[in-house]
C-alpha cells in the first residue's frame, strides 16, 4: 500500500522538523488518526502532521491541553493518586486522544468520527522516537516489544501473511499457528496474530491490527540472517498448542 504524507489542504504553515517526520509515521501506523501534534505545556504546537487545516489542528491541540490538565488534576484526586497515562475524549464529530510526555509536553491525536481505539503499538513507538529526539529518557527502540512490518498477505486470505520484508528483500514465511485478539470498540473485528518461521530459521510473531497495519515482535531488519535466543523454536508440545489457534483475551 502506497503511503501518502498528511498535508493540510492549504499547505503547512511552518517548516517541518524531525518531530513532524515521526508524527507522520504515526499517522501511517494508525490510519484512524487524521492529525498528530506534539504540544508543549502551554498548548502550543511544537510540530504536527495533519490532513486537516493547520488552524484546526493547532486550535484542537490548544483545547486538548486544557482538557488534559483538567483530567489529570481530577485523576490525581482519585484514590491511589497515580499519574494519568492517557485520555480519550469522544465528541459529536470527532474523537481525541492525548498522552502526557516528559517536561509537560503531550502527544495529541485527532481521530476519525466514531473511532475510539488507538494502536498502543503505534503510539508506543512514536513516543519512544519523540523522546529520543527531544532528549528525554526513553527505551532503546530495538528493545520495544513491537515494530512495524511490511507484509504481503495471501491472495486467498488477506489476513494471512505470505511474505515479510527484511532489509531490502522479501522473505517467505511459514505459518506455525494463529491466535485471535480481542475486538476493540470502533474496530471491524479483532486483530489476528500468527507465529511464523522465516526461511533463515528465525521464528517471529506477526500481528495484523484491525486497521490492516502489521507489526512484528522483533525488528525485521537482518532478521532472516540470525537465529537468536528470542527465536529458538518452541518445544513440540508448544507447537502443537499454537497450531490449535487459541483465542487470546
Q: Are 110 and 89 in contact (CB under 8 A)?
A: no
Task: Identify the pLDDT of residue 135.
Answer: 97
The residues that bridge with 152 in the sheet, in sequence order, are 163
Task: Identify the pLDDT of residue 113.
Answer: 83
Give dist(CA 34, CA 54) in Å, integer: 12
Least confident segment among 51-65, 89-103, 231-245: 231-245
Give dist(CA 49, CA 110) in Å, integer: 11
Task: Identify the pLDDT of residue 77.
Answer: 84
Task: Identify the pLDDT of residue 224.
Answer: 60
Per-residue pLDDT, averaged over 76-102, amounts to 89
- What is the reported pTM? 0.82
CATH superfamily of 18-143: Dynein light chain 2a, cytoplasmic (3.30.450.30)
Q: Are 50 and 9 in contact (CB under 8 A)?
A: no
Per-residue pLDDT, averaged over 200-204, amounts to 88
- Give, for 129, the enclosing helix (H) or strand (E): helix 120-134
Chain segment 7-19, per-residue pLDDT in tens? 787 888 899 999 9
Q: Are 37 and 101 in contact (CB under 8 A)?
A: no
Task: Identify the pLDDT of residue 10.
Answer: 80
Categorise residue 103: left if φ over 0, alpha if ψ from -120 to 50, beta otherwise.
left
Name the grid cell of 69. 490538565
Report the percentage of the chain scoring pLDDT > 90. Answer: 61
Supply the mean pLDDT for the chain: 84
Tell me the CB-side half-sphere exposure of residue 77, using CA atoms within 13 A: 6
- Residue range(s) in the chain whose domain bears CATH number 3.30.450.30: 18-143
Amino acid at each position: 500500500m502506497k503511503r501518502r504524507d498528511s498535508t493540510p489542504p492549504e499547505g503547512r504553515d511552518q517548516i517541518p522538523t524531525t518531530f513532524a517526520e515521526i508524527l507522520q509515521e504515526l499517522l501511517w501506523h494508525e490510519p484512524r488518526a487524521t492529525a498528530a501534534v506534539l504540544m508543549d505545556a502551554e498548548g502550543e504546537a511544537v510540530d504536527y502532521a495533519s490532513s486537516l487545516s493547520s488552524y484546526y489542528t493547532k486550535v484542537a491541540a490548544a483545547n486538548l491541553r486544557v482538557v488534559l490538565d483538567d483530567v489529570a488534576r481530577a485523576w490525581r484526586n482519585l484514590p491511589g493518586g497515580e499519574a494519568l497515562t492517557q485520555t480519550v475524549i469522544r465528541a459529536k464529530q470527532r474523537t481525541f486522544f492525548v498522552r502526557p510526555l516528559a517536561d509537560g509536553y503531550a502527544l495529541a491525536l485527532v481521530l476519525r468520527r466514531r473511532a475510539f481505539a488507538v494502536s498502543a503499538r503505534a503510539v508506543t513507538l512514536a513516543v519512544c522516537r519523540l523522546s529520543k529526539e527531544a532528549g528525554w529518557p526513553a527505551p532503546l527502540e530495538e528493545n520495544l516489544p513491537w515494530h512495524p512490518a511490511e507484509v504481503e498477505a495471501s491472495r486467498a486470505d488477506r489476513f494471512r501473511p505470505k511474505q515479510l520484508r527484511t532489509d531490502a528483500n522479501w522473505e517467505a514465511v511459514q505459518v506455525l499457528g494463529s491466535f485471535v485478539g480481542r475486538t476493540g470498540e470502533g474496530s471491524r473485528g479483532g486483530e489476528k496474530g500468527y507465529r511464523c518461521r522465516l526461511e533463515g530459521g528465525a521464528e517471529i510473531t506477526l500481528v495484523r491490527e484491525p486497521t490492516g497495519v502489521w507489526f512484528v515482535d522483533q525488528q525485521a531488519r537482518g532478521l532472516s540472517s540470525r537465529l537468536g535466543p528470542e527465536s529458538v523454536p518452541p518445544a513440540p508440545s508448544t507447537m502443537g498448542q499454537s497450531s490449535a489457534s487459541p483465542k487470546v483475551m
